[in-house]
């Protein structure tokens, strides 16, 4: 089932060109970026631009499952993964995750 950007809201970041996404709750964030997808991001960050086949081999996973995970990450429009004619890569120096127990401020 494709995920839509409605599961998060965009936040204007002061003094930064990095996009920031705010999920309404942690459960939705972990539904989009599962532990396997997070592991995929870690390996992709280490490898740099690489084909999905090479990424699947490095992860020890089935090509079609890695391809499906990359497709979901691209659909999320989180800009975690980018595509080139030769494969995929992470267009950032780092991807940071922050969890907070703070309640959202009332509008």
| Degrees to nearest 5, angle at CA 98 with 67 and 32 | 30
Cα of 60 vs its chain's centroid, Å: 20
What's the whole-model pTM score?
0.74
Sequence length of the chain is 107
pLDDT at 17: 59
pLDDT at 92: 84
Domains of the chain: 5-89 (1.10.10.10)
| 10 phi/psi in degrees, rounded to 5 | -90, 145
- Which two three-digit tokens encode residue 7? 């599961």
Compute the distance between CA of residue 107 and CA of residue 100 in angstroms, rounded to an integer. Answer: 18
Which residues in the chain come in under a pLDDT of 70? 1-20, 103-107
Contacts of 47 by beta carbon, 8 Å cutoff, 6+ apart = 54, 55, 58
| Degrees to nearest 5, angle at CA 89 with 95 and 53 | 125
pLDDT at 90: 92
Contacts of 43 by beta carbon, 8 Å cutoff, 6+ apart = 55, 58, 59
């Amino acid at each position: 089932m494709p995920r839509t950007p409605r599961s998060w809201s965009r936040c204007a970041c002061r003094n930064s060109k990095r996009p920031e996404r705010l999920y309404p709750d942690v459960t939705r964030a972990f539904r989009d970026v599962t532990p396997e997808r997070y592991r995929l991001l870690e390996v992709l960050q280490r490898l740099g631009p690489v084909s999905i086949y090479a990424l699947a081999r490095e992860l020890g996973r089935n090509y079609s499952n890695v391809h499906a995970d990359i497709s979901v990450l691209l659909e999320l429009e989180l800009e975690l993964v980018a595509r080139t004619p030769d494969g995929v890569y992470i267009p950032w120096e780092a991807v940071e995750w922050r969890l907070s127990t703070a309640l959202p401020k009332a509008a």
